[in-house]
Chains A and B, each alone.
Chain A
Amino acid sequence: MPSGALARRTLFAMILSGLLFAVLHAQVPFERLREATSEPQNWLTYSGSYASTRHTTLSQITPANVGELELQWVYQNRVFGPWQATPLVVDGVMYLTQRPNDVVALDARTGRVFWIYRYDTPSRHRACCGSNNRGVAILDDKLFMATLDAHVVALDATTGTELWSVEVADIEQGPYSFTLAPLAVKDKVIIGTGGGDLGVRGFIAALDAATGEEVWRFHTIPGPGEPGHETWEPCPPNPTTYCDPEAWKHGGGSVWLTGSYDPELNLTYWGVGNPGPDYNQSQRPGDNLYATSVVALDADTGELRWHFQFTPNDNYDYDSVQIPVLVDIERNNTEFKVMLWANRNGFYYVLDRATGRFLSGRPFVTVNWAEGLDDSGRPIQTPQPPGSPTYPGLAGGTNWYSPSYSPRTELFYIPAWEDYATVFDGVPQVWAEGRGGFTGRTPAGLPITFLPVPDAPNVPQLTRGPINNWTDAVGHGSVLAIDALTGEQKWKFEMTGMITSGILTTASDLLFTAARSGYFQALDARDGGLLWRASLGGLMVNGPMSYQVDGKQYVAVIAGNSLSTFALRDRTTP
C-alpha cells in the first residue's frame, strides 16, 4: 500500500475512533476525586485523597518482600534546587512539576516523557524561600498549576496545551507567590498565597475550573469590620517598644500547603502560616487571627465556618500550614470524626472537624514555650528569658512535610524534629513596601541570631561542606508513631540529622520516608523497625507516594534532582 494511502487510512481510523472514544478520554470528574481511595492504583491529589492521610490501600509490597525492592526508573530534572513536588498518577500517566514552573507528563511505568509544559515565570517574582512548586491538581480533563508569579494556569491533561492563565494576585502590589499544589473541589480550583515572611496579607481563593474566573476569596487576615479583625488590637497609648497600628495590612497568614476537603460537610480545611513579622509579637498585639490557625471554609462560598488557632500572637514562626488529616475512628462504640494535627509548635491536636471543637492535645516533642493547653486547646504560654533556648526551635517540632495516618494501626505518623531549640531574639521592624524580608529578625552580624542552642551549629544540610559540624545539641529527626486519638507515643524511629521528608503508609503496614543522610527507607508501621533502605544521594524534601500500573505497585520519591521509582523485582524476566 502506498504510504500516502496508509497515512490516510490511519487518519481515518484516528478520526473514527476519536469520535467514538472521546467521552472516555482522561476524565477525572469530581466524583473520582471524592472516591479516590477506591482506585488506589492512582494518586489523584497532592495528599492522595481529600482526607489527606497519605495512606495507600495498595499492598503488593509487604514487610516480608520489601527487601526485594529495586529501582525501576529515574527521571532527572535539569533544574537544580530543592524539588518539593508530589506527583499525581492518573491511569498510568504521571503528572508532576519541576522548578520553577514546568509541568511534566510521564509514562508512570518507564519515566519517559510525553510532554513538558514550561510556564514563562518572570524574573521579578519574589518567592521567600526559593522557586518551589509542590505539584498540580487534576479535574476532568484539566491540570492546574499555581505559579511563582501568583497566576494559576489550566492545561489540557492530554496534550499539555495551556487552556487559560489568570493572574490571581498582582506581584507588583505585594510579594505574592504560589508554591502549593492546588486542590480541585467540585467545579473549582482552590489555592493560597505564600509570602508570609515578606509581608503579604494572606488569602485563599477559589477559581472556576472552566474559566479561571475567581469565585471566592477568603482573607486569612481579616480586615476592618470582619470577624476576627479585633484580634489585631490597637496599639497601647504609649508603647514602650515599636507597635504597628496597621499590622494587619501586612500581617502574613500565608497558605503554602494544600488543604483537605470533607464532602459530607462540604468544608475545605486549610492551614495558615505565621503572622508577620515572624519574631516580634510586641509590634502586633492581639491573637492575630487567622495566622497560625486552621480555617474551615464552605467549599462553595469560601465562608468561614470555624477556625482553631494553635499559637495566638505567635513569636516563633510556628506556621500552621501542616496538612489537615481527616479521619473517622470508632473507639469504645463512639465514632470520632476528627482532624489530626501535629503542629510546628510541638503540640499534637485532635479536633472535631465539624465544629472545630478541641478534643485533646499534648506535646509530641520537648516544648517549653507553653506549659500546656487549656480546656479549649489554647496554649498557656511561658516565654523563655532572653538568651535562653525555646523548644521547639525555629523550624518547629515538625514542619510542612506530610504526616500519614493508617486506619489499620490507628496510628498517626509524624516527621518530627526532637530535642531541637532556638534562642529567639526578634527585633521591631517597620514595614516598608518593596523591602526584602519582613521577619523581625536580628540583623546579621549581631551576636544572637537564631542559634539553636549554645555551641550548636545551625540545622545541618545533607551536603554542608567538607567539615561535619553536626552535634547532638542540634537535636535530631525522628518518625514518631502516636495513637491518633490520645497522642500517646507508640514507637519512634530516630535518625541522625533532621528529617525533611513526608511519610507514606500502606495497607501492608509499611511506612516509607527519607532521612537527611540520603536514605530512602521503609519501616514497619506497627513497630518502627527498619526493613529496607536505599541511598539516593540527594536531599529528599517531598513526600513519597505510591501507585500501580499493569498490576505492579510502585513507590516514588524525589531525591536531589532525580525522581526515583521502586517496585518489586520482576520474577518473570531473567
Chain B
Amino acid sequence: MQRVVAVAVIGLIGLGDRVAGQDHGVYDQADIEYGLGVYRAQCATCHGERGAEIAGVDLRSGQLRRTDSDRALRALIRNGIPDTGMLAFDLDPAEMTGIIAYLRNMNYETDVVILGDAARGRTVLEGKGDCMSCHRVKGQGPRMAPELTAIGRIRAPSALRRALLDPTGTMLPINRPVELVTADGTRLTGRRLNEDTYTVQLIDEQERLRSFDKADLLEYTVLTVSPMPSYEDQLSPQELADLLAYLVSLKG
C-alpha cells in the first residue's frame, strides 16, 4: 500500500513540475486524459484537435488572454463569451475538472493510459472487483456503501483513481463505518450519514436509517479504516484502467 502511494505521489510531483511555470493548479493525469475526451466531444469541432483552428486563439500556447486563472477559465467555459462564437457549456463537475486539466496541459504528449474501456470496466465492477457487494449502481446492489450511479458526475477521475488505490486515505470522514452498542446491549454497525456533538445518524446493516443519542450508547466507535480493499494489488493495470473508465462514465 505504501509503495502505491509513493508511486502516485511521484507521479503527481512530476506533473507538478511540468506545469509549475504556469502558476496554476496541479493536474492529475487521470483528469487530463479524461479532459481530452471532453475536449474532443465539446471543443474540437471549433477549436480543432490541436487547439489552433480559431484565428487568434491558440489553446496550446499557454497564453489565454481572458483567463489568467483556472477559476476564470471555468467561468468562461460556463458562461461563454457574449457576441462571439464561444458558447456556454453546461459541464458537470467532473467534466469541468477534466477540461481544465487538459487545457492546461495540451502541450504535453502522454502515452500513459489511465482510462481504459468502460464496457470491460463494467465486467470488472460486477465481477472480479466485487464492487456491488457493497455499492449500489443503477438500482442494483446494497445501500451500505456510497452509491455509485452518478459518481462519474460528482467525482473527478483523479479522485476516483485515488479512492481505488487508497480507500482509507481518501474515505470522506462522513462515510466512516461506525460500531455502537445500544443501552439494551444491541450491537449495530453501519455507515455514518451525519453526526453532531450529541447524536449520530447512520444507515445500518439492514439498510434502515437510524439515529442515536450518544449519551444513551454503551459503546460508540468511528472506524478510520475503510472496509473497501485497495485494488492496487487486486486488479491488473488494465483492469484498473477499465474500471476507472466505467466509473467515470456513471453519470446518473
Contacts and interface: CB of A to CB of B under 8 A. Distances in A.
B211 A14 contact: no
A33 interface: no
Interface in B132-190: 133-134, 136, 139, 142-144, 147, 149-150, 177, 179, 189-190
B238 interface: no
B79 to A, nearest CB: 14
Contact of A112 (B177, B196, B225): B196
B194 A25 contact: no
Interface stretch (B35-43, B114-122, B201-209): B201-209
A161 interface: yes
B95 to A, nearest CB: 16
Contact of A114 (B177, B201, B226, B227): B201
Contacts of B201: 107, 112-114
A14 B177 CA distance: 10
Contacts of A92: 209
B67 interface: no
A162 interface: yes
A110 B214 CA distance: 12
Interface in B218-251: 223-228
Contacts of A21: 205-207
A124 to B, nearest CB: 14
A114 B193 contact: yes
Contacts of B189: 10, 13-14
Contact of A18 (B150, B193, B194, B205): B205
A572 interface: no
A25 B226 contact: no
A159 B203 contact: yes
B199 interface: yes
A114 B211 CA distance: 8
A15 B134 CA distance: 7
A110 B198 CA distance: 11
B252 interface: yes
A158 B224 CA distance: 24
B223 A10 contact: yes
A174 to B, nearest CB: 23
Contact of A14 (B190, B225, B252): B190
B225 A24 contact: no
Given A3-B225, A161-B147, A26 B207 contact: yes
Nearest to A25: B207
Contact of B199 (A6, A11, A91, A112): A112
A163 B133 contact: no
A161 B199 CA distance: 23
A22 B194 contact: no
Interface residues of A, number: 35
Given A14-B190, A17-B206, A162-B252, A109 B139 contact: no
Nearest to A2: B225
B68 interface: no
Nearest to A108: B211
Contacts of A3: 223-225
A8 B209 contact: no
B196 A26 contact: no
A7 interface: yes
A10 B177 contact: yes
A112 B206 contact: no
Given A7-B227, A15-B142, A113-B201, A107 B209 contact: yes
Contacts of B142: 14-15, 18-19, 22
Nearest to A113: B194
A10 B226 CA distance: 10
B213 interface: yes
A105 interface: yes
A13 B205 contact: yes
A550 to B, nearest CB: 11
Contact of B143 (A10, A13, A158): A158
Interface residue SS majority, chain B: loop
Contacts of B209: 92-93, 105, 107, 114, 158
B176 to A, nearest CB: 9
Given A15-B133, A114-B201, A162-B252, A7 B177 contact: yes
Contacts of B177: 7, 10-11
Contacts of A107: 199, 201, 209, 211
B211 A17 contact: no
A4 interface: yes
Contacts of A161: 136, 147, 149-150
Contacts of A156: 143, 147
A80 interface: no
B223 A14 contact: no
Nearest to A12: B227
B134 A11 contact: yes
B1 to A, nearest CB: 10
- Which of A17, A19, A109, A163 counts the most B-chain CB atoms under 10 A from its CB? A17
A14 B205 contact: yes
Contact of A7 (B133, B206, B225, B252): B225
Interface string A94-118: 0000000000010101101111000
Interface in A8-53: 8, 10-11, 13-15, 17-19, 21-22, 24-26
Nearest to A20: B206
Given A7-B177, A15-B134, A112-B194, A163 B227 contact: no
Nearest to A11: B227
A4 B203 CA distance: 20
Nearest to B221: A6
A372 to B, nearest CB: 54
Interface string B13-55: 0000000000000000000000000000000000000000000
A249 B193 CA distance: 49
A518 B199 CA distance: 30
Contacts of B213: 110
A22 B205 CA distance: 9
A10 B207 contact: no
A100 B176 CA distance: 31
A24 B136 CA distance: 17
Contacts of A112: 194, 196, 199, 201, 211
Contacts of A11: 134, 177, 227-228
B64 to A, nearest CB: 29
A417 to B, nearest CB: 40
Contacts of A14: 134, 142, 144, 189-190, 205, 227
Given A7-B177, A14-B227, A25-B207, 8 more contacts: A3-B224, A11-B227, A14-B205, A18-B144, A18-B205, A25-B208, A112-B199, A113-B201
Interface of B: 133-134, 136, 139, 142-144, 147, 149-150, 177, 179, 189-190, 193-194, 196, 199, 201, 203, 205-209, 211, 213, 223-228, 252
Interface of A: 3-4, 6-8, 10-11, 13-15, 17-19, 21-22, 24-26, 91-93, 105, 107, 109-110, 112-115, 156, 158-159, 161-163
10 contacts: A6-B225, A21-B205, A25-B143, A26-B207, A91-B208, A109-B211, A110-B199, A112-B199, A114-B193, A114-B203
